[in-house]
Every structure is written in structure tokens, then in C-alpha cells.
Amino acid sequence: GYVIINASKIVRASYGTKYVYLVGNKGEYCQFQASYNSVNEVVLLGDSLTALGSGYANFFDVNGCGRTPFGVGGEKPTQIMGRVGIAPFRLKEDVVIPSEPTAVSIGLISSFDNKETYPRKNYGLHECTIGGIKGSINVTTAGSAVTFTRSVSGEEVVLKEGTDVESCYYGKTNTFNVYWMGQNGYGSDDELVDAFKLCVANQVTNYYLVLTPHLNTSDELEQKMQRVFGNRYINMRRWC
């Protein structure tokens, strides 16, 4: 559990060997009472709010752990989850992968809602695997077009529609994950809650927080998040 302290704004988060603190401008906002001896990296997953250089990402001032801002500006939950393999991108149609490492345009859909979706950057997909072929995704037009290039030469292969794009991120252990999604839109409150639930269900670490946007939000969404995630949920509209 955690202890809420009187604070009107979160200043930073600090991770020690036994506790995680979200520190407010009037004191500690919350203290998670668990052992974090096995944690060696804090991963911030989301949009621009968790991107490298973001002032919000700087809340997470890690003590003794590496910090990886994995956010991409402008992305929606399906794009975020696709990049890190929580709800993988899938091939929209069959695609021929040539024998040589040559860039090939590919169409993608989200396995979360089966809608055509593309990442805005290739974080998590700079090393990936499609149908057993290792390679990399390159974003040619942010949010609307990508290519795939195999890593090494081999036989020409036809990859079938619906094949998953396996992210290099998926399956990381010994991390403390911070999920912060929804600022750039989402289908409905229930869909966003389901997206967060999927993030938590698919992680291979026991340590996480889920955060809703400080702007694109509602009382109804925040109440649902509180019911589902309890003390692992932070209502950022209240604290930013």
C-alpha cells in the first residue's frame, strides 16, 4: 500500500532498495512498501509525457536504477502497446521479404482493436522479429508508413497476413514500469482501462504504476481506474 501525504504537485519519484516514493512539493506523496532489490531499471511507457527530455519524465528521479524514457510524442495507446509488444502490431496483408537486406513497405494493424495503426517512431522496433525473420522497422512517415529490413541475407520468404511483429522490448525483467497513456486520445473510457489492464497482465515484473492524463481525462475515467488499479493508480490531473 501507500501513504498519501499532503502535496499539491508531484516533484519527482525516487526509487531506493526498499521503497518507491512519489515526492510532492509538500512532502512524500506515496510510499510503496515493497522490496525493490531486484529492480535495475525504471521504464516509462507512453507518449510525449514519458519521452526523453520530457519535464514530466523528470519526475522519476531514480536512485540506484537506470531510467529509460520509452515514450513517443503523439502516440495513442494502440501505438504505444504495439511498439513494446504488449498488443503487437500485425501484418495487414501478405508481404514478400526478399533474400537480401532490402527495405520493404509493410502494412500494420493493432492486435488490440484490429484497426490499421502505425508507430510514430521505431523505439522497441529497431530490433524486431516477424515470422522468425529478424530485422528492423523504419518509420518513413510518422504514424502512417513503415518499412521492414531483414538483418541478414537468407531465403526469400512470404510473411502471412496477421503475423505478429515481435518487439525487442517485450519480456524485459527486473524493471519498474510506469504506464502513462491517453493524452492523445482513445476510443472510450472502457477501452483505455482495458489497455492499461493488458499492459499489467502482460508484464513480467511485479512493479508498476498506471497514470491517466492530466488534461484529456474525466471524473468517470479516473473513478474506473481507481476501482481497477487501487493504490497502483495515480490521478495526474490532481497532481499536475
Average pLDDT, the chain: 82
pLDDT in tens, 10-55: 444 444 444 444 544 444 444 444 444 556 677 889 998 888 776 6
Mean pLDDT of all residues in 213-232: 91
**How far apart are alpha carbons 17 and 36 in whole angstroms?**
5
CA 31 to each of CA 73, 82, 210, 239: distance values in angstroms, whole numbers, following the listed order: 29, 31, 15, 16
Cα 109 to chain centroid distance, Å, stands at 17
Letter for the amino acid at 163? T
**What are 104's strand-pairing partners?**
148
pLDDT in tens, 91-136: 999 999 999 999 999 999 999 999 999 999 999 999 999 999 999 9
How would DSSP label each residue in 87-146?
A: S-EEESS-EEE-SSS--EEE-EEETTT--B---SS-TTTSSEEETTEEEEEEEEETTTEE
**How far apart are alpha carbons 106 and 92 in whole angstroms?**
8
pLDDT in tens, 174-196: 777 889 999 999 999 999 999 99
- Are 30 and 10 in contact by the 8 Å Cβ rule? The answer is no
Identify the residue with better confidence: 235 or 240.
235
CA atoms within 13 A on the CB side of 178: 32
pLDDT in tens, 53-86: 766 655 665 455 567 788 999 999 999 999 999 9
Angle, in degrees to the nearest 10, between helices 77-84 and 189-202: 10
